[in-house]
């Protein structure tokens, strides 16, 4: 009986994992806003560099959507905010290969992927500090599985000057 009590205590104190709860695992992609201006003027266009660090063995899909294919990476400026996209995001050069899971040629990013995001400050913004928000929607896969699509949002403070 004295041996049974410590074992029973461990079982009672251990977290219970229910079948309907998804297993939490670390995201294999880390997004960083690596360069953005500290200040801007109303109506100014500037470039922001967004970096995706992809864990070894994992990959992201390119920004080019394919019918019946994987979820493409998408970079947006979620609104409302004092900034807009005045043009296309410049994606990195990817690696094209045949994906057996989707049974098609796809373009992927591995290691690090750098995206250049054009950003325009709206003309009616008032001087002061405002938040620039950039969202990245992506799907990370390895050779065995694809994780559900995910959106991360990064923020950067920009001082609006005259």
What is the C-alpha to C-alpha distance for residues 109 and 54, in angstroms, rounded to an integer? 8
pLDDT at 100 over 90: no
Q: Is 60 or 18 the better-scoring residue by pLDDT?
A: 60
pLDDT value of position 15: 42
CA dihedral 117→61→21→24, nearest 10 degrees, is -70
Chain mean pLDDT for the chain: 88
Q: Which whole number is the average pLDDT over 114-137?
A: 98
> What does CATH list as the number for 26-161?
2.60.40.1250
- Whether the pLDDT of residue 125 is over 70: the answer is yes
Beta-strand ranges (E) seen in 17-149 are 29-35, 39-41, 45-54, 59-61, 74-76, 83-84, 95-99, 104-109, 112-121, 128-138, 140-141
**What's residue 23's pLDDT?**
59
Place of tokens 């796809």: 106
Give the start-to-end residue ranges of the domains of the chain.
Answer: 26-161
């Amino acid at each position: 009986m004295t041996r049974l009590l410590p074992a029973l205590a461990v079982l009672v104190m251990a977290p219970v994992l229910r079948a309907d709860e998804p297993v939490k695992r670390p995201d294999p992609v880390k997004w960083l806003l690596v360069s953005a201006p500290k200040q801007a003027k109303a109506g100014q266009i500037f470039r922001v560099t967004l970096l995706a660090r992809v864990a070894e063995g994992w990959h992201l899909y390119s920004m080019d959507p394919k019918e019946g294919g994987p979820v493409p990476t998408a970079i947006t400026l979620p609104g409302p905010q004092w900034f807009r996209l005045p043009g296309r995001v410049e994606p990195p050069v990817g690696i094209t290969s045949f994906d057996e899971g989707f049974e098609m040629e796809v373009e992927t990013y591995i290691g690090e992927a750098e995206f250049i995001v054009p950003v325009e400050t709206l003309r009616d913004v008032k001087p002061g500090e405002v938040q620039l928000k950039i969202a990245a929607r992506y799907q990370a896969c390895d050779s065995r599985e694809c994780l559900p699509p995910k959106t991360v949002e990064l923020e950067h403070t920009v001082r609006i000057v005259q």
